[in-house]
Structure 1
């Protein structure tokens, strides 16, 4: 039976019979490589792509349709995600250096952005279904397009907030105790949650550098005050992520896009067939990026409280680490799939680049003109000064 110790649990009794803890060196080395070399690339590319989408909508295209509003919100969710990810990587590598409130806010917002991003992609598929499959029936609905789209986005963000409440509530900044070292074996959710795995224990020196934990680095992870709450959250958080953050959007996208494809194939039009390829690409990329991780997370959750061999646990943890990075990649691909693939959006983007180029040329031209004017002024003042009685001249 577990015992309270300073508000956390002492799991010493659980590990008394453990002789050889499972090794996590291989998984940690791969995770470090991904965090230090791959994730920064994802963050930079994702930030640039989504920032361009936001700038294009803000300055030129404006939000004229439901899809425009959804795409803008997806870009906002993705850009907040890629901004939060480096801070989380830093905290996992070196410890949490900020306060408890910032721990809750960063992790909670990170979770919200991932939920909202997935749900908004489902909304985009629903909008395409109404526009193409139910064009006549949805005509009146789409006449109030901006009103409905803003309302839907508000519902999506509110739903993401509710789904992220466990993260806001249970994430804490704390010193890991002697038997909380197993957080290195955590299961990281793409929604930003880190579900501490209490079934394994690692070497204490990995965390506290040989100290008792009070002088070691702070961490920002889930921390529960009762064993019952811990068990419920360890199942509820990944289950809601898989069910509502992946399978629900996947089912909506599958139904909507399959109906769109059937409708487009009936039309003997080259442009319609080109649109079919675009739809298939969108669905394929979504499945390839998110399904491997969510299937792995589902398997982990099902077998969470069952005794397993170290080789099986290590393979699950390693697979989760790799597939999580694949899921992160979707934040970079969203601008390409949903925004830049559209002809109108590309035209507006070209206009931005052309205006920036013209602005740069005008700026350089103005500087050159200013420099020539200044040189002529100096030369004229110098000539005038050579005739002064005191023989002085204008110098810079």
Structure 2
């Protein structure tokens, strides 16, 4: 996820003397390593969710539709992340169009995935807290979930327009550095537009991309926990732990970055000291990387933690094994291999039919 911190230019007037704000080589290498790991796990996890819903598990509920779209949103970002890393380290060699598209990828992912997570919490609230009244309505409301997802994607694109319109690939003189630096950042020709957008863009990110989903999740999951604690169920403790994990992970991943972003935005139009600015940017970079982790954890928290979903994942592994046996060791395929594959399917289906969970 791209951060707003890189979208601001810092002039000598803002700082005490010459100040080189470029990260050092150790920080760059560390961030590259962490982001590569996030990209790899995010790609695998979200791709498995999409494959499962596409080939193994029909989207039977509203939550299924939301989960599929969350995986698509996260996949957009993890696919864009390696290109962002490469271009940041090679002066944006891919040009201005790639600059705009890649910078917008985070914004679309942020708004769409956060709003969809709020939709999931709302659907679970209705399904559990108002279970009796909503049973028939939810089964008939599947088409509405697709309309809601369409509205979420359109809203995400609309909220990303300022980033898409004003992001440019530019050269800037960096005080304290020997050469000019090619950057991809928000660029404005008028001072008034700059002041407006430098506040509007991060404000939208903090409000729509964090605060609103957080409030919805806290309300819905608080009611859900209260309902579960009153229920006579052997699995209620596990369900409560899942709910708490979802909320805690969301807060741990996104609260530090949004606090750092708020602090940074408030200080934009004030005179800042060089060392304080360096510390603030480092905090932003670290908290941004923590926020990136959420796209890796979403598949675990919302999909793989469900028993039925895990059974489909096992089925994928069995089918991949059978596929490799068929095409890599074609000359050795036998009746025994086919029986193992069929056995795996039957085992998965039995496991699926006899178990259930809060998130399945």
**Alignment TM class, shorter chain as reference:** 0.7 to 0.9
Alpha-carbon distance in 2 for matches of 1:18, 1:102:
31
Alpha carbons 1:286, 1:330 under 8 Å: kept:
yes
Point out the structure with max Rg over C-alpha: 1
In structure 2, the residue matched to 1:95 is: 91
**Any residues of structure 2 matched to 1:126-145 within 5 Å, and which?**
126-145=122-141
* 1:220 maps onto 2:173 in alignment: no
**Deviation at residue 302 of structure 1 after TM alignment:** 1.5
2:67: which partner in 1? 71
Tell me how far 1:268 sits from its aligned partner. 2.7
Match of 1:356 among 302, 320, 323: 320
Moved more, 226-235 or 267-276: 267-276
Q: Paired residue for 2:43, among 38, 42, 47?
A: 47
| Map of 1:288 onto structure 2 | 252
CA contact (8 A) 2:59 2:65 kept: yes
Separation in 1 of the partners of 2:328 and 2:160?
Answer: 49
CA distance in 2, matches of 1:55, 1:17: 50
Superposed CA deviations along residues 276-311 of structure 1, whole A, max 9, x for unmatched, are: 000001111111011000011011112221223333
1:252 aligns with 2:249: no
Show structure 1 runs of 5+ residues with no match. 1-9, 182-201, 209-217, 371-396
Alpha-carbon distance in 2 for matches of 1:277, 1:262? 13
TM, length-normalised to structure 2: 0.85
**1:24 CA displacement:** 3.4
**Aligned 1:304-315 pairs, distance under 5 A:** 304-315=268-279
How much has 1:323 moved relative to structure 2?
0.5
Residue equivalent to 1:262: 226
Residues of 2 paired with 1:310 and 1:138: CA distance? 57
Comparing both chains, which one has the higher relative contact order based on Cα–Cα distances under 8 Å and sequence gaps of 6 or more?
2
Residue 146 of structure 1: aligned partner? 142
Aligned partner of 2:18 among 21, 46, 54: 21
Name which of 351, 360, 366 aligns with 2:330: 366
CA contact (8 A) 1:91 1:220 kept: no
Please give the root-mean-square deviation of Cα atoms over the aligned residues, in Å.
2.2
- Report the CA distance between 1:318 and its aligned residue: 1.2
Deviation at 1:23, TM superposition (A): 4.8
Measure the CA separation in 1 of the matches of 2:111 and 2:137.
26
Q: Evaluate the alpha carbon distance shift between residue 369 and residue 298 of structure 1 in structure 2; reply closer, same or farther with a 3 A threshold.
A: closer
Report the alpha carbon displacement of residue 273 of structure 1 after superposing the two structures with TM: 1.8
Q: Take 2:13 and 2:106, find their aligned partners in 1: how far apart are those partners?
A: 37
Higher helix share: 2
2:16 touches 2:272 (CA, 8 Å); kept in 1?
Answer: no
